[in-house]
Chain A
Amino acid sequence: MENGHSPKILIVDDEKGLRIGTKRLLEGEGYIVETAENGCEGIKLGTASEFDLAIIDLKMPDIDGISVMKEILKVYPDSVCLIATGYASYETAIEAIKFGAFSYIPKPFTPDELFQKLSQGYSRRELIIERKKWKQEREERLLEVAFEKSRLNTIINSITDGLLVVNKNGEAVLYNPSALKYPGFDQIKIEEYILDKLHPQITELINKFLSSETSEQKSFSSQVELKANRQLIVEATSSPVFNPDGTLAGVVVIIKDITGLKKIEFLKSQFVSMVSHELKAPIAAVYGYLKLFSDTSIHLTEEQKLNYLNRSQIRLDGLLKMVNDLLDISRMELKTVNKEIKEIDLTAVIKSIVELFQIEIKKKNISITINVSEKIPFLQADQDEMSRLFTNLLSNAIKYNKTGGSIVININSSGNYIITEVNDTGIGMKPAESAKLFQEFFRAKNDKTKDISGTGLGLSIVKRIVDSYSGKMEVVSEFNMGTSFKIFLPLRNGNNNTEQKTG
């Protein structure tokens, strides 16, 4: 056959000669032929497997050809059946076709007649198969499209950013549930005009496309305060949606909640302006003294000169300390501090820091006591950070202490924590001051703190270190009586403190 595929054909006829003759004839032409000698066998073979073609004799002793054909077509409706009849008449032909036959062959037939009919039948069969294949493909594709569509919907609905699509008339076409949480968007109704319900800034973003027939693939964004006082700030982005022919179909708007980001941004810029102010103050002070020295119209006594030089030095010392503290904080912020976690003896660390402060302690005549409960386990920590932590605490305890005061340090362990208490008999704090204790640059300002220099960053550093070990701290302070800091450092800590183990 033409395309190399061998058609499978069934011959059902009670005439043995015709069966054998036809079989031989067709096999010579490349057909695969099976034969049945009566209607029953014809049905059996024709329904057991699918034949491309069947030639069925109309008149057979047991079952007539049309019934045989009907049974075969029940199982394989795409088999092409030809009815062969010796009593060819218009009526039988019509009847056979009515019941599903492709055509009929009058008996007796010549080989040419047979081949012509079979060739027509096989063309039909090929068409049927092709159509069936095409139909199946189409169904599969439809299924795929449906799946694709529902997957797309699922994705759109899962996005935490709000999404709204409007058409050229400003009517809502598509939105996701996240959009509904934003004011104005909660009034979206599909196919209803929406632009008058949205924030004017967002409407403007959409109108940038609707009002001008631009075919530019470009987006517009703006930050919109949807709830006053920085309660809800979003970034709205509008982008055009084009038809296949390049004309504008609508606009898609994405709403992203950036309230948290803006808050951080605000805090950062606040921090930067505070830092610049704090750095500027000592510079201005020293600069002012230098100007006094260089002003020839001003006479300064030797005592004044010495005093101003001394003051300049104090302010510059403070400036230097502040820059160092800021560098520490910045390193901690950027997490570039590589913790070198080792087993350390916290008591030994604290005792060595106390040694370093001996001069200051003696100068103020402060008595210092360290109480260590039995068997303090080793702490997994970075020695430098622990030193910095307790240096800051101890330096405060000395600086803000009264002359002749005392410092009591208690170290003990409880559960998963080593608890270190640093108690002083210093000037203490008012409750309002305690509340601001860990704010950068906060320093309680009153008659008592006037002559104490500090950067206002020490406790902020202490807190950052304690936090980085998942520890906690408590402060108890009484104005004029003293302050007590309690530091809890965990002995075992699954996450934070070992995150950047280098040692």
Chain B
Amino acid sequence: MKSDVKKKILLVDDDIDLLEQNKILLESKGYIVITADNSKQGWELFKSEKPDAAILDLIMEEHDSGFVLSYKIKKDDYGKNIPVIVLTSAAYFTGFKFSASTGEEKEWIRCDEIINKPVAAEELVKKLESYFALKEN
């Protein structure tokens, strides 16, 4: 990590096992990880903890989906400056590949990146690092 201060990452996923695993993996790479297993709790943590980045699962059955939460975060004065990544396994069973390409889509899909599951920890870390590096420059 370039910065000496440990970055704080918010992880939101309703599969508590995947949540735990990503937490351990990111912690092993030197991040501070805060977790929520639903978007409501995720939003509360975001407001209280002011994380440096957020990684959200797309499909969560309770409360809002990852897209809605990312929209809320990006609308927030603090949140608009942090990288938000949405993870999805939707591509696996629908064949859809999400990406915000048109203006209208960009209006609604506010996250910086949509990544298909399963995602290797190294890839996530690389993405996060590139966002942080961009910000510091």
Q: Are B94 and A284 touching (Cβ within 8 A)?
A: no
Pairwise interchain contact A315-B28, C-beta atoms closer than 8 A: no
Q: Is the CB of A298 within 8 A of B117?
A: no
Q: Select one of B14, B18, B89 contacting A285, CB under 8 A.
A: B18
Is A485's CB within 8 Å of the partner chain B? no
A304: chain B residues at CB < 8 Å are 24
Is there contact, CB below 8 Å, between B17 and A311? yes
Q: Is A446 an interface residue (CB 8 A)?
A: yes
User: In the complex the two chains form, what is the Cα distance from A446 to B18 in whole Å?
Assistant: 18
Residues of A within 8 A of B17 (CB): 285, 288-289, 311, 315
Tell me, yes or no, whether B37 is within 8 Å of chain A by CB.
Answer: yes
Cβ contact of A273, chosen from B20, B25, B37, B94, cutoff 8 A: B94
Are A446 and B62 touching (Cβ within 8 A)? Answer: yes
Contact at A276–B93, with CB atoms within 8 Å?
Answer: yes
For residue A98, CB closer than 8 A to chain B, the reply is no
* The one of B21, B93, B94 that contacts A289, using a Cβ cutoff of 8 Å: B21
**Contact among B14, B15, B24, B37 with A292 in the assembled complex (CB-CB below 8 Å):** B24
A304 vs B17: C-alpha distance in the bound complex, in angstroms? 12
Which residue on chain B has the smallest CB distance to residue A307?
A: B20
A280 within 8 A of B: yes
Using CB atoms, name the residue of chain B closest to A300: B24
Does residue A375 face the partner (Cβ distance < 8 Å to B)?
A: no
Q: Which residue of A lies closest to B17 (CB)?
A: A285
Q: How far is the CA of A300 from the CA of B20 in the complex (A)?
A: 12
Please indicate which of the listed interface residues A288, A298, A446, A450 has the most CB atoms of chain B within 10 Å of its own CB. Answer: A288
A308 partner residues in chain B, CB cutoff 8 A: 20
Q: State whether the Cβ of B61 lies closer than 8 Å to any Cβ in chain A.
A: yes
Q: B41 CB to closest chain A CB, in angstroms?
A: 9
B25 touches A292 (CB 8 A): yes
Residues of A262-283 contacting chain B, CB below 8 A: 273-274, 276-277, 280-281
- Cross-chain contact B89 with A280 (CB below 8 angstroms): yes
B59: nearest chain-A partner, CB-CB = A277
User: Among residues 294 to 308 in chain A, which have CB atoms less than 8 Å away from a CB atom of chain B?
Assistant: 295, 297-298, 300, 304, 308
Q: Which residue of A lies closest to B22 (CB)?
A: A288
In the assembled complex, the Cα of A298 lies from the Cα of B24 at a distance in Å of 8
Decide: A298 near B25, CB < 8 A? Known: A280-B92, A284-B118.
Answer: yes
- Complex Cα distance, B92 from A274, in Å, reads 11
A291 to chain B, nearest CB (A): 8
Residues of A within 8 A of B89 (CB): 277, 280
Q: How far is the CA of A315 from the CA of B14 in the complex (A)?
A: 14
Known A-B contacts A277-B89, A284-B118, A445-B61; the reply to A298 vs B15 at CB < 8 A is no
A445 to B24 CA separation, bound complex (whole angstroms) = 25
Cβ–Cβ contact A288 & B21, under 8 A:
yes
Are B61 and A292 in contact (CB-based, < 8 A)?
Answer: no
Do B117 and A297 touch (CB < 8 A)? no
Instruction: Specify the chain A residue showing the minimal Cβ separation from B117.
Output: A284
A292 close to B93 (CB less than 8 A): no
Residues of B within 8 A of A445 (CB): 14, 61-62
Once the chains bind, are B21 and A292 in contact (CB under 8 Å)?
A: yes
- Chain A neighbourhood of B16, CB < 8 A: 450
Q: Which residue of A lies closest to B29 (CB)?
A: A297
Are B15 and A273 closer than 8 Å at their CB atoms? no
Residues of A within 8 A of B37 (CB): 450
5 chain-A/chain-B pairs, Cβ below 8 angstroms:
A273-B94, A284-B18, A284-B117, A284-B118, A288-B21
Q: In the A-B complex, list the 9 residue pairs whose CB atoms are closest, starting with the nearest.
A: A285-B17, A288-B21, A273-B93, A445-B61, A445-B62, A298-B28, A277-B93, A311-B17, A276-B93
